[in-house]
Amino acid sequence: TKPAMRVAVTGAAGQIGYSLLFRIASGEMLGKDQPVILQLLEIPDEKAQKALKGVIMEVEDCAFPLLQEITAHSDPMTAFKDIDVALLVGARPRGPGMERKDLLSANAQIFTAQGKALNAVAKRTVKVLVVGNPANTNAYIAMKSAPDLPKENFTAMLRLDHNRGLSQLATKAGVAVADIKTFTVWGNHSPTMYADYRFATVGGKSLKDMINDQDWNANVFLPTVGKRGAAIIDARGLSSAASAANAAIDHIRDWVLGTNGEWVTMGIPSDGSYGIPEGTMFGFPVTCADGKYTIVQGLPIDEFSQACINKTLAELEEEKAGVAHLL
Ligand code: NAX
Res. 82: pLDDT tops 90: yes
Residues with a known catalytic role: 189
Residue 113 annotated as part of some ligand binding site = no
Residue 219 binned pLDDT confidence (cut-offs 50, 70, 90): very high
Closest-CA residue, ligand 1 atom 39, reads: 131
Cα 247 to averaged position of ligand 1 atoms, centre (Å): 14
Each residue's pLDDT tens digit, 243-284:
999 999 999 999 999 999 999 999 999 999 999 999 999 999
Residue range 88-146, pLDDT digits in tens = 999 986 666 767 667 788 899 999 999 999 999 999 999 999 999 999 999 999 999 99
Cβ of 91 below 6 Å from ligand 1? yes
| Angle at 41 (CA atoms; ends 161, 264), nearest 5 degrees | 25
Asked if residue 289 has pLDDT above 90, the reply is yes
Nearest to 9 by CA among 117, 71, 89: 89
Whether the predicted model's global pTM rises above the 0.90 cut: yes
Instruction: Give the closest residue to 195 by CA, choosing from 171, 229, 161.
Output: 161
Q: How far is the CA of 211 from the centre of ligand 1 (A)?
A: 36
Q: What is the pLDDT of residue 11?
A: 98
Average the pLDDT over 157-166 and give the result.
98
In angstroms, the CA 283 to CA 273 distance is 11
Residue 204 has what pLDDT?
94
